[in-house]
Amino acid sequence: MRLCPLILLFCALPATIEAGESEGWRPRVVMPPVRKAAHGQVKALPDGMVDPARPRTLSEFLALAESRHPMLRINSARINEARGDHRQAGLWPNPVVGYRGEEMGNQGTPGMQGGFIRQKIITGQKLKLASSVAAARVREREHLATMAREQVVGDVRVRFYDTLVAQQRVELTSQLSKLGRELARATAMLVQAKQVSRNGLYQAEIASEQAAALRENSENELKEARRLLALSVGVTELKVGLLEGKVTSHLTDMTWEECRSRVLADHPGLAAARTRLTLSNREIARQKRLVVPDLDVRVGMAHMYTSDSDVTSVMVGVPLPIFDRNQGGISRSEAGAVRARFEVERMEVELEQRAASAYREYSNARHQARRYSKKILPRARKSIESVKEGYREGQVRYLELLLAQQKFVEVNLDYLSTIRKLRESVTVIESRLLSGGLHGHRIGRNTSSRR
């Protein structure tokens, strides 16, 4: 009689997370099967948690972000602005054409009537230097656009896998809540049969309510994750449904040297800083050439009505750099070059420091995932099987069964949080610490509170 109310619970308890992929530390998270409705559509979770649209993949979200994210469009416009400045920087000033009239009324004649053309001659290759400075600014904007793109890609990856984890948390906590309700009902039957004290019923009801609260929290976290995923691609009205993928796919092992190389090699932020240094050095040369005076050439032709003769005039003017030799502009550009040089060094040091912190987070998560895969999960599975067998044989009391079931699901939830941290740390390193198109990555954030 004691076995009947509870033994059926084990039939509904799946092995939600399995270990033993080809690499020992990399356990496999089994995605819950997609249940189909009678008409072939994806069946939604209760309370409208899942959009019935078809599942979405990471590649689809990345493609959508590539075409819709406002930050990418902004940087594209900035590049076009810089290209316009580059085109403008090498252009000569326009000539001036004018009319000239003098001595009108002299001896009853129109006097001298004519016109002129005036042109400013840029000397010292100043236009070439200005174009060179503008070209460096275009390259800087291109590096910054690459950095923004990698930030968006990294952020989409982090949010996508966060949502995958949230989906699996809903599945696990729903199982835990269902077990809690069934155990509470079974315990009530045992109380009526006077096989269990009423305090046991209270404990079972408390555990059931706690599991229900955990499920509700997980559903709210899934809603939040979907909203943030939509924001990460830059489409606020996007409806995110059930996602396809595995949080453990393409997880890479790396050493510290590999991590350092991934972060520093061709880092777009560092490349932009180095381009600013090149730009600053070119600006120094341009400022020094500004001292070389430009020529102001004017050629005119006129007719003298008093003598009935044609005349031609030529005027050439040049400023004398006596007082203003652009001392302030040169000094300012030299200071800017010094700042740009040390900015490169500062960024290199900062990236090294951030890479060290990111690798520590990655290493901790990797070792923790290995421990769960090789030790904790197998023991939890053996424990639940042992309790299951003991309960069938009448050797295990219902309270021990309850605790074993709760512990089994809680271990799976903890493991899922560990995998989430590992996935996030790998994504941040692979994106060269550039995730954060709108939100920023959360390396170092305590995820235990998400349970």
Establish if 436 belongs to a structural domain. yes
pLDDT at 218 over 50: yes
The stretch 9-36 carries a mean pLDDT of 39
Look at 205 and 76; give whichever has higher pLDDT.
Answer: 76
Look at 390 and 36; give whichever has higher pLDDT.
Answer: 390
The pLDDT confidence band at residue 435, using thresholds 50, 70 and 90, is low
pLDDT at 349 over 80: yes
d(CA 293, CA 318): 6
Helix (H, G, I), strand (E, B) or coil at 315: strand
Establish if 227 belongs to a structural domain. yes
Helix (H, G, I), strand (E, B) or coil at 234: coil
d(CA 256, CA 441): 20
Domain that holds residue 257: 4-68+135-285+354-450
Establish if 125 belongs to a structural domain. no
The stretch 109-138 carries a mean pLDDT of 94
pLDDT at 360 over 90: yes
> Which pLDDT does position 249 carry in this prediction?
80
> Which pLDDT does position 97 carry in this prediction?
96
pLDDT at 394 over 80: no
Distance of CA 56 to the CA centre of its chain: 19
d(CA 48, CA 222): 12
Closest CA to 242 of 170, 167, 160, 174: 167
Give the CATH number, domain containing residue 423. Answer: 1.20.1600
Q: State what percent of residues in the chain have pLDDT above 70.
A: 83
d(CA 186, CA 208): 12
What CA dihedral angle connects 214, 216, 217 and 223, to 10 degrees?
Answer: 150
Mean residue pLDDT of the chain comes to: 82
The pLDDT confidence band at residue 321, using thresholds 50, 70 and 90, is very high
d(CA 81, CA 149): 18
pLDDT at 420 over 80: yes
Establish if 333 belongs to a structural domain. no
Establish if 178 belongs to a structural domain. yes
Q: Are the C-beta atoms of 369 and 298 separated by less than 8 Å? A: no
Establish if 168 belongs to a structural domain. yes
Among 13-17, 192-196, 267-271, 341-345, which stretch is predicted with the lowest mean pLDDT? 13-17
Closest CA to 318 of 302, 339, 297, 332: 297
What is the tens place of the pLDDT at every residue in 168-181?
999 989 988 887 88
CA-angle at 360, arms to 267 and 445, nearest 5°: 95
What is the tens place of the pLDDT at every residue in 46-57?
433 333 344 478
Per the DSSP assignment, residues forming a β-bridge with 299 are 117, 314
Establish if 298 belongs to a structural domain. no
Establish if 372 belongs to a structural domain. yes
pLDDT at 350 over 60: yes
Complete DSSP assignment for 325-368: --HHHHHHHHHHHHHHHHHHHHHHHHHHHHHHHHHHHHHHHHHH
Structural domain tally of the chain? 1
